[in-house]
Amino acid sequence: MTAATLRHAAWILRGNPLTGIAAAGVFALVLIAIFGPSIVPYDPVSSDVPQALQPPSWAHLAGTDQLGRDSFSRLIVATRLDLTIAVSAVGVSFVLGAVIGSLCGYIGGRLDRAVGRFVDVLMAFPLFVLAMAMVAALGNRIENIVIATAIINLPFYIRFSRAEVNIRRNLGWVEAARACGDSHLSVVLRFLLPNILPAMAVQMSLNLGWAILNAAGLSFIGLGVTPPTPEWGIMVAEGARFISTGKWWLVAFPGLSLMLAVLCFNLLGDGMRDILDPRMRT
Amino acid sequence: MIITTLGATVKRAVKRFLSSLPALFGVLVFTFLLMRVLPGDPAVFFASGPNAGKAEIELIRKQMGLDKPVPQQLVYYLYDLGRGNLGNSIMTGQSVTKDLRDRLPASLELTFSALLIALVFAIPLGVLAALRPGSLIDHGIRLFCALGVCVPTFVSGLLLIYVFYYLLGIAPDPTGRIDIFTSLPPSRTGFLLVDFLLAGDVSGWWGAFKQLILPAVTMALFVIAPLARITRASMLVSLGSDFVRTARSVGLSWWRIVVTYALRNAILPVITIAGIVFSTMLGANVLVEKVFSWPGVASYALDALLSSDYAPVQGFVLLMASIFVIVNLVIDVLYGIADPRVSVG
C-alpha cells in the first residue's frame, strides 16, 4: 500500500461512497460476530412458551418464534456461525485453489490438463445439488457445509489463479527472479502468488456473499446446521411454517440479516475491484 | 454462404458436444461414488419393515448387488445406464426414469417461465441503464440489481407468499401446480399452461398460471441482476461503436438505432449468460420447489437424498449435467446464428 494507492482508494471512495459504507458494514458484522453472543438481551436457545409467536415489540425487537425464543438475540448470535462458515469455506477454497491453480499455470503440461479435466467435471455439476449431496454423504455437520461450499467454489479459484499466473509466468520480473537463483517453488510462492493476490481478494469478497447464501440455503433444506442452533437459514426454515398465517417477522428478519451481510460483501468486492482495476467498472 | 456457416456451426457444436462427454462421464462416476458414502443402508429401506431379520436384509443386499465391491457395482450401474435404466426409487417404488419424466415438465415449465420473466424485465432495464449511464435511472437499476442478488430465493419466495397470499389474498395456496379441485388436462406436453390451452380450458389455465407466477417471479428476481448487468455492459460497448455513430449520422430513427443495431449486436453476451443462468436455475430450483411444494425433479432429488435413496439422486444429477451440456450446445448454435463470424473462426 503506497501513498499513491491510498490516494487512489480515497478518490474512488469519494466517487463511490457505497464502498466505504460496505466496508463499515463488514466491520460491524465482524464486531457482532465477536461480541454479539455476550451482549444479547435473551438466551438464544431458552424457550418461553407463553411468549410464543409475538410480533416485534420493544421487548422483542424481532419478535419471538414458536417456542417464545427471542428472534433478535438469535439473529445476533447466528452472525458468528454464518460468518465462520462462509469465511472458512472461502478461505479453504482460496488457499487450495490459489496453490493448485498457480502451479498449473506455472508448470502447465500434463498436470495442467489433468486439473483442467477435474475442474470441467466439477463445473458440469449443478453446484448447489453437488453441495447438497456432499453434506448428505459426509454427514450432517457444520464442518461438512464448509467442505462442500469450499469444493464447489474451488473451480473458480483454480481457473482464476491459473489464468492470472499463466499470463505472468514469462514476464521480465519472473525471469529475473529465476535468473537470481530462486527455485521454481519460491518464484510461485514469493512472486507470482503475491502478485495475483489483490485480484483474488476481490474474488473472495464477492464469493463470501455467495458462500453465505449457499450455507443458508443448505441449512434451509435441513442439511448441515441442526436446530436449536441459531443460524439464519434455519431460522427462515422454521419461520416458513408460519408464513401462511401471517407471522412475517420469523422470515423477514433472518432474511434481512442474510441480505445485509451478502450486500456488504458484494459491495465491498465491487468497490475493491474498482480500486484495483478501473477498467472493470460497470 | 448461409449453408456454409450453418455447417460450420453444426460442426463446432458437435465438436463441443464430444469434448463435453468426458466431463459428463466424470460427473457420473463422481456422483456414483458420492452416493456410496451416503449414510444409511438402502437394503434396510427395501426390507419388509423395521424388524426385518439380518438374513432378509442380506438377501436384499445381494439382490441389489450391494454385496459386490464398489468398482463392480459401478460397472453394473454403467451397464444399466447404457440400456437406459436408471434404477428404481425406494421412495416411490417406481423406476427413476419414469419418476424423472413425470416431474421434469414441472421443473422446466417453472424455469422457462422464470427465465422469460427475467429476460422481459432485464433487457429493457439494461438498455435503459445503458442509454443514460450515470443517471438516476442507471443508479436505481444498479441498486435494484445489487439487492436482487442478495436476497436468497427461499426468503423472497416466502415474503411473496406473505404479501400475495396472506395479506392481499390474490395468490392461491402456495402448494403445487394446480389446486386440488382442478382436474388435470390431458397430458400432451407436460407443461400445464400449454396443456390447458390445448384442452381449451381457460379457467384451468388461469388456475395453473396463478400457481406458477409466484415461484416463477421468485426465481426471476434472483437472476434479473446478472442479465440486466450484462445487457447494460454490452449495450454500452455497442452504443459507443462506430456503426451506431454512423447510423446516427445518417439520421436513422432512435428506435431503429437502439433496437435494430445496438441491441442486436449487444445480445450475444446476454445469450451466453441466459444459458448459464438457465442451467444454474434448474439446479437451484431445489429451494424454490421446496418453498412452493412444487412437484419438480429438484424436490424429488432432495427427498431422495434425505432418505438415502441412491438411484433418484444419481439420475437427477445426470439429468442436470446433461441439460447443462445441451444448453451449452444450444447457446453455441444460437451464437453461430447471431454472429456468423464465430463459427468461421
Lowest-confidence pick of A38-52, A210-224, B17-31: A38-52
| Among candidates B167, B232, B283 on the partner chain, residue whose Cβ is nearest the Cβ of A126 | B283
Q: What is the pLDDT of residues B140-187, one digit of tens each?
A: 888 888 888 888 888 888 888 888 888 887 777 777 777 766 777 777
ipTM above 0.90 for this complex: no
pLDDT at A95 over 60: yes
Do B306 and A136 count as a contact with CB atoms less than 8 A apart? yes
Q: Chain A, 261-280: which have a CB under 8 Å from a chain B CB? A: 262-263, 266-267
Beta bridge partners of A70: A64
Q: How confident is the model over A90-102, as a mean pLDDT?
A: 90
Name the percent of chain A lying above pLDDT 90: 9
pLDDT of res. A88: 93
Give B318 or B334, the one with higher predicted confidence: B318
pLDDT for the residue numbered B121: 92
Q: What percent of chain B has pLDDT over 90?
A: 5
- What's the confidence (pLDDT) of residue B46? 63
Quick check: A220 and B233 CB within 8 A? Answer: no
Of B24, B147, B150, the CB nearest to A124: B24
State the total domains in chain A.
1
The shortest C-alpha distance from A193 to chain B (Å) reads 29
Predicted local confidence at residue B322, as pLDDT: 84
| Chain A residue at shortest CA distance from B286 | A129
* pTM of the entire predicted model: 0.84
Distance from the Cα of A250 to chain B's closest Cα (Å) equals 10
Write out the residue range of the structural domain in which residue A175 sits.
24-41+58-281
User: What is the spatial distance between Cα A63 and Cα A70, in angstroms, rounded to a whole number?
Assistant: 6
What pLDDT was estimated at residue A282? 46
Residue A92 domain-assigned (yes or no): yes
Query: How many Å apart are CA B130 and CA A32, to the nearest integer?
Result: 39
* CA of A247 vs chain B CAs: smallest distance (Å): 8
Q: Which residues of A touch B284 (CB under 8 A)?
A: 126, 128
At B130, the amino acid letter reads A
What pLDDT, on the 0 to 100 scale, is given for residue B17? 78
Q: Domain with A241 in it: what CATH number?
A: 1.10.3720.10
Q: Region B118-138: what's the mean pLDDT?
A: 88
Q: Is the pLDDT of residue B86 over 60?
A: yes
Q: Which amino acid is at B80?
A: D
Q: How far apart are CA A78 and CA A62, in angstroms?
A: 14
- The full DSSP string for B70-128 is HHHHHHHHHHHHHTT---B-TTT-SBHHHHHHHHHHHHHHHHHHHHHHHHHHHHHHHHH
pLDDT 10s digits, A177-212: 878 877 788 888 777 888 888 788 888 888 888 889
Mean residue pLDDT of chain A comes to 82
Indicate whether A246 pLDDT > 90. no
Using an 8 Å CB-CB cutoff, list chain B residues near A132: 286, 302, 305
Hey, are the CB atoms on A124 and B22 less than 8 Å from each other?
no
Looking at the domain assignment, is residue A35 inside a domain? yes
Per-residue pLDDT tens over the stretch B259-305: 878 888 888 888 888 888 887 787 778 888 888 888 888 888 888 88
Determine phi and psi for B334, rounding to 5 degrees: -60, -40
* Average pLDDT for chain B: 80
Q: Is residue A76 domain-resident? A: yes
Domain annotation covers residue A15: no
On whether the CB atoms of residues A135 and A218 are closer than 8 A, the answer is yes
Query: Per residue in A168-185, pLDDT tens?
Result: 877 888 788 878 877 788
Identify which of B20, B162, B313 has the shortest CB distance to residue A133: B313
Nearest residue of B to residue A213 by CA position? B152
Is A258 domain-assigned? yes
Set of chain A residues whose Cβ sits within 8 Å of the Cβ of B32: none
Tens of pLDDT, residue by residue over A35-75, are 878 787 777 777 777 777 777 777 777 777 777 787 888 88
Contact across the interface for A126 and B321, Cβ inside 8 Å: yes
Convert the pLDDT of each residue in A126-163 to its tens digit: 788 888 888 888 888 888 899 999 998 888 888 888 88
User: Domain for residue A17, yes or no?
Assistant: no
Where does the pLDDT of residue B49 fall: very low under 50, low under 70, confident under 90, or very high at 90 and above?
low
Q: Taking CB atoms and an 8 Å limit, are A267 and B146 in contact across chains?
A: yes
Cell numbers for B182, please give them.
382442478
Residue A90 lies in a domain: yes
The per-residue pLDDT for B3 is: 58
Per-residue pLDDT reduced to its tens digit, B196-228: 778 777 787 887 888 888 899 999 988 898 899
Alpha carbons A232 and B31: distance in angstroms, whole number: 29
Does some domain include residue A234?
yes
Measured between CB atoms, which of A120, A248, A266 is closest to B146? A266
- Helix or strand (DSSP H, E) at A3: helix A3-15
